A and B are shown apart, each in its own frame.
Chain A
Amino acid sequence: MSQISLIVNGSQQTLDVDPDTPLLWVLRDQLGLTGTKYSCGLGQCGCCTVHIEGEAKRSCTIPVSSVVDKVIVTIEGLSPDGSHPLQQAWVSEQVAQCGYCQPGQIMTAAALLSRTPNPNDEQINQAMAGMLCRCGTYQRIKRAIRRVIAEGGL
C-alpha cells in the first residue's frame, strides 16, 4: 500500500492504495464513483472508459500508479447535472436500454468530439467500434453523436 494522489473530476484526492490497483476499482470502491462500470476487466468492452488528460482510456487496465497527478474525468464529472451536449443527445435519442455500457459510450464519444469536432462516419466508427453494447443501441448512439454535431458540437 502507498499514498497516491489523484485529480478526479477537478478535486485532488490522496488515497492509501496498492499502486498496481487498476484505476477502475479505485474510482468505484474508494472514491464511490460507481458510474464507471466493471464488465470485462481486460479492456475489451469499454464499459470502464474515463478521460485521462482528455483521452478516452479503459480504466480497468490502467494501474492507478500510472495516473498520478493526471487529470481524470469520469461520467460523474462530465457535467455537473447531465447537461453535457452528448448526455442531452443521449436522452433526446433515448439511446440507453439497460444502460450499463452507456457511461463508457458517452465518455468515448465526448473524447472523440473534443478532439475531432466534425468527424466523418469512418472516424465515428473507428472511435466507437471497440465499445460493446449487448442491448444493441449502436444505431441510436450514432444518431446521438450526429445530433450533437448538427447542433453545433460540444
Chain B
Amino acid sequence: MEISRRDFLKVSFVAGSGLVIAVYLGGCKELPTQENTPTATALLKSTPIPTRTELPEGTPTPEPPTWFTPNVFVTIGSAGLITITAHRSEMGQGVRTALPMILADELGADWNSVRVEQALGDPAYGSQETGGSHSIQNFYSIMRSAGAVGRQVLISAAAQTWGVDTRDCFTEKSMVIHRPSGQKLPFSALITLASTLPVPASRVISLKDPADFRIIGTSLGRVDNPEIITGKAVYGMDVRLPGMLYSAVAHCPVIRGKVTSYDDSATRQVPGVREVVQIDNGIAVVAEHAYQALRGKALLQVSWDSGANTRLNSTELEQALLERAKIATPPADELVQYYTMPYFAHATMEPMNCTANVSSDGCEVWVPTQNPQVVRSNIKGLLRIGPDKIKVYVPLIGGGFGRRLESGPAGLSPTVDYVSEAVQISQAIGAPVHLIWTRQDDFEHDMYQPLSVTRVRARLDDISTLSAQRFDVSSSIPVGYWRSVTNPPEAFARESFMDEYAVMTKADPVVLRHNYLNGRARDVVDMAADMASWGSPTPTGVGRGIAYHATWGATHVAQVAEVMVNETEIRVLHVFCAVDCGLVINPDMVIAQMESGIVFGLTAALKEHIHIESGIVTPYSFAGYPLLRFDEMPQVEVQIVKSTERPTGVGEMGNPPIAPAVANAVFAITGQRLRRLPLRLT
C-alpha cells in the first residue's frame, strides 16, 4: 500500500461539527530501529532530521514491518518506543509536552516510552501557526483522535490474536489488556498485525471517558528540560552545519532606510571575513566565525538613504492619537476616559536568527519560528522554487511572544525579515549561512506592539452601557503581534475604567465586577478576591487592585495585585491569580504560564517602552529597555478552577489583567489615577 504523505492525515472542517479527522493507515516501512536513531536535537547539530514521511517513492516495504504509523502524529516502534510528532513551535509555553500528553493518554501509552520529535513546516499537519494561545484549544480533539485511532487498531490486533471481543479490551502503559482474562500484550508485539488492519473511520472513533485519563490532568515535567539544564538543547542560535559560515547584517538605523553606498575595506581586513554582500535589507558580512562577522559589520562604512521616515516621532504620534480619540464635550451623565499604551518591543532573550542553505537542490532553513509554513511561503516567493524543494526545520525558540509569528505587511506575499536575509546571503555566496542579529538589530528592527489609545465610556447610572474603542496609528513604524496582541490595551482600559467607575459610584471594585459579570467570569473574580482576602486591612503604604480579563474570550483570568508605593517607586509585592481554562492538560504548566504572563505584563506596566525619534528607535539595549528583574519579582499565587469545559489556551492569558490590577492598586494607595503605561507616579 503506497500512500502519499498528504494522505496520512486529512483534516477537514465540517460546518457545525467542528474538526473531523480522517486518518489513514500508513504502510509500515523498514527503517533503522528507533533506539538507534539519534535524537532530533542531535541531528539538528549536523544534518537535517530524516522523517518517516519523507522516504523516497518506491521504497520497498519488507516484512515484518518494524514501525506502526497510524498517522503523522505518532509512530510505534517494535522496540516499544513511541514517537509523537510535535507540529507546533516550542517557545517556553510547553506545547511539545502538552500536545503529546493528550495523544499519549488516548493511545494508552506509557509516558516513559514516549519521545517527542519536532515536525518540519508542512501543511500535512494542519495549522502550525503557533500563536493566539490556540494550540491546545484547536488541537485537543485532533490529538485525542490521533491517539484513539492508534489505540483502536492496536486493540483490534490484540483481540484478533486472542480471539476475543475488542469491546473487552483496553490500553494502559503501552499494553493492550483483555479485561475478563487479564492477559496482556505490549504494543510492540502488535505492530506487525496492526499495520495490516483497516483504520476506523473518524465518526466511529470512540474517545476515552475523561474519568479514565491517566496523563491528561497531571503535572508531568517538560520533555525539553533535561537538555535545557545541561546546555544541550538546540535553539536556532545553536544550529551548526558542515561548511557553515556566519553572518551579520548592517541595517539602516532609520526604520526601513536603504543602502546608498558602502565601503568595506576595513571589514575585509578582519581575519576570517570571507564576503561582503548587499542584500535587500542592508549589507551582510560573512565570516568563518560569528565574532569576525560582528567585528566586520562594526567596521563597515555605509551611507544610508533614510527616506521619509526620519520624520517619525512616537511622542508626536501619541499626542495626535490622544487628540483624535478625545470627545470635546462628553455628555454630563457619562464617564469618559482615555488609556494609552506606547510601543513595546518583544525583547526575546534569543535574538532573531536563521540558518539557510540554498543550493541547486533547493533551500533548507533552520529557524526559530512560530510559523514554519509562512517561512516556506516566504522562501517560495523569494527563490521561485517549488514547495517540495523547501524544508523548514524548527529548533527550540528562545522566546517568541509573537515576534516570530510575523509575516510582513498584510496583503503582500509573506516576508520574514531574518529568513529573507539568511536566504539571500546563502544564495549569494553559495554556502550554508548562520545569520545572527545583534541585540541592537533586534530592538531597532522589531515589529512593535502598536501605540494605542483606548477610549472607554459608560453612563454613570448603568455600568452595562460600558463601551470601549481603540485608536491606533497608521505610520511606517512596523507593528505586529505582541503577546496577547489587542488584549492588553483592552484590559488596561476597561479594567482601569471599571475601577474609576467604582470610585465615582462609591462601589467596591470586586462587588461591582461580581454584579457586572456572570458565570465563569464572576467565579474567577470571586476566587481571586478570596485568595487575596479582599477587604481585609493592608499595611500602611500597601494597597490592592483587581482586574479581570478573558483573552480572546477564551480563558478567564482575574488577578489581585498587592502593591507598595514608596514616593514614586511602585513595587508589586504579591499577585493572586485565578484562572479558568476549562479542562486542564497539565496544571503546573498552566501555573507557569500565569506566572510568565504576569511578569511579562509587569514589565509593560512598570518598565519598558519604545521611543522613536527621527525614525530611530532609541532603546537599543537592555540598559535602555529594562525588563522586570529577579529582585523585583512579586510572590505569585495561582489557583485553577476545576472544570470539564473544553480546554482553552494559557500562553497569553496571564498578561492582560496585571497592568490594570497594579494601576488600580496604585490608585488605592495614592489617589493618583495613571492612564498610561508604563505607570509613572509624579
The CA of A30 and the CA of B599, in the complex, are separated in Å by 36
The CA of A36 and the CA of B290, in the complex, are separated in Å by 14
| Shortest CB distance B482–A (Å) | 12
Chain A residues near B272 (CB-CB < 8 A): 18
Contact A76 B230 (CB under 8 A): yes
Chain B residues near A30 (CB-CB < 8 A): 289
Contact with B along A109-140 (1 / 0, CB 8 A): 00000000000000001101111111111111
Contact A136 B350 (CB under 8 A): no
Most chain A CB within 10 A, of B294, B396, B589, B592, is at B592
B92 contacts the other chain (CB 8 A):
yes
Beyond A38-B237, A39-B350, A96-B222, whether A134 also contacts B229 by CB under 8 A is no
The segment out of B308-316, B326-334, B624-632, B674-682 that lies at the interface is: B624-632
A150 contacts the other chain (CB 8 A):
no
Chain B residues near A94 (CB-CB < 8 A): 219, 221-222, 225, 588-589, 592
Contact B289 A139 (CB under 8 A): no
Contact A18 B292 (CB under 8 A): yes
Quick one: closest B residue to A122, CB to CB? Answer: B631
Beyond A96-B228, A99-B224, whether A140 also contacts B592 by CB under 8 A is yes
The segment out of B51-59, B397-405, B518-526 that lies at the interface is: B397-405
Q: Which single member of A35, A36, A100, A139 contacts B635 (CB below 8 Å)?
A: A139
Q: Which single member of A40, A79, A90, A126 contacts B621 (CB below 8 Å)?
A: A40
Chain A: interface size category: 35 or more
The CA of A78 and the CA of B633, in the complex, are separated in Å by 27
Contact A100 B271 (CB under 8 A): no
Chain B residues near A103 (CB-CB < 8 A): 228-229, 231
Most chain B CB within 10 A, of A18, A33, A78, A131, is at A18
| Shortest CB distance B449–A (Å) | 14
Most chain A CB within 10 A, of B232, B246, B622, is at B622
Contact A100 B399 (CB under 8 A): yes
Chain B residues near A141 (CB-CB < 8 A): 630
Beyond A133-B349, A134-B600, A138-B630, whether A98 also contacts B229 by CB under 8 A is no
The CA of A36 and the CA of B221, in the complex, are separated in Å by 23
B71 contacts the other chain (CB 8 A):
no
Contact B629 A132 (CB under 8 A): yes
Q: Which single member of A87, A101, A125, A128 contacts B230 (CB below 8 Å)?
A: A87
Q: Which single member of A38, A45, A81 contacts B622 (CB below 8 Å)?
A: A45
A70 contacts the other chain (CB 8 A):
no
Beyond A37-B237, A134-B600, A135-B399, whether A76 also contacts B225 by CB under 8 A is no
Contact B588 A134 (CB under 8 A): no
Chain A residues near B629 (CB-CB < 8 A): 129-130, 132, 138
Contact A134 B623 (CB under 8 A): no
The residues in B between 208 and 260 inclusive whose CB is less than 8 angstroms from any CB of A are 219, 221-222, 224-226, 228-235, 237-238, 240, 246
Chain B residues near A142 (CB-CB < 8 A): 630, 633
Chain B residues near A35 (CB-CB < 8 A): 230-233
Contact A40 B240 (CB under 8 A): no
Contact B233 A99 (CB under 8 A): yes
The CA of A64 and the CA of B294, in the complex, are separated in Å by 16
Contact A102 B228 (CB under 8 A): yes
B347 contacts the other chain (CB 8 A):
yes
A34 contacts the other chain (CB 8 A):
yes
Beyond A44-B621, A98-B92, A136-B598, whether A39 also contacts B633 by CB under 8 A is no
Q: Which single member of B238, B397, B627 contacts A34 (CB below 8 Å)?
A: B238
The CA of A142 and the CA of B350, in the complex, are separated in Å by 22
| Shortest CB distance A5–B (Å) | 18
| Shortest CB distance B319–A (Å) | 30
Contact A134 B93 (CB under 8 A): no
Chain B residues near A45 (CB-CB < 8 A): 349, 622
Chain A residues near B232 (CB-CB < 8 A): 35, 76
Contact A37 B271 (CB under 8 A): no
Quick one: closest B residue to A83, CB to CB? Answer: B230
Q: Which single member of A131, A132, A134, A137 contacts B401 (CB below 8 Å)?
A: A134
The CA of A108 and the CA of B454, in the complex, are separated in Å by 42
Contact B231 A39 (CB under 8 A): no
The residues in B between 609 and 627 inclusive whose CB is less than 8 angstroms from any CB of A are 621-623, 627
The CA of A34 and the CA of B439, in the complex, are separated in Å by 18
Chain B residues near A47 (CB-CB < 8 A): 349
Contact A87 B229 (CB under 8 A): yes
The residues in A between 10 and 46 inclusive whose CB is less than 8 angstroms from any CB of B are 18, 21-22, 25, 28-30, 32-42, 44-45
Chain B residues near A154 (CB-CB < 8 A): none
Q: Which single member of A33, A78, A79, A132 contacts B627 (CB below 8 Å)?
A: A132
Chain B residues near A66 (CB-CB < 8 A): none
Contact B595 A136 (CB under 8 A): yes
Quick one: closest B residue to A36, CB to CB? Answer: B231
| Shortest CB distance B49–A (Å) | 18
Contact A42 B234 (CB under 8 A): no
7 further A-B contacts with Cβ under 8 Å, apart from A33-B231, A91-B225, A135-B349, are A29-B246, A35-B233, A76-B230, A91-B221, A100-B350, A130-B629, A134-B347
List the 3 shortest-distance A-B pairs measured between CB atoms, nearest first: A35-B231, A136-B599, A100-B398
Task: List 14 A-B pairs, Cβ < 8 Å.
Answer: A37-B235, A75-B229, A75-B230, A79-B230, A87-B229, A87-B230, A97-B92, A98-B398, A101-B349, A103-B228, A106-B229, A133-B627, A135-B599, A136-B595
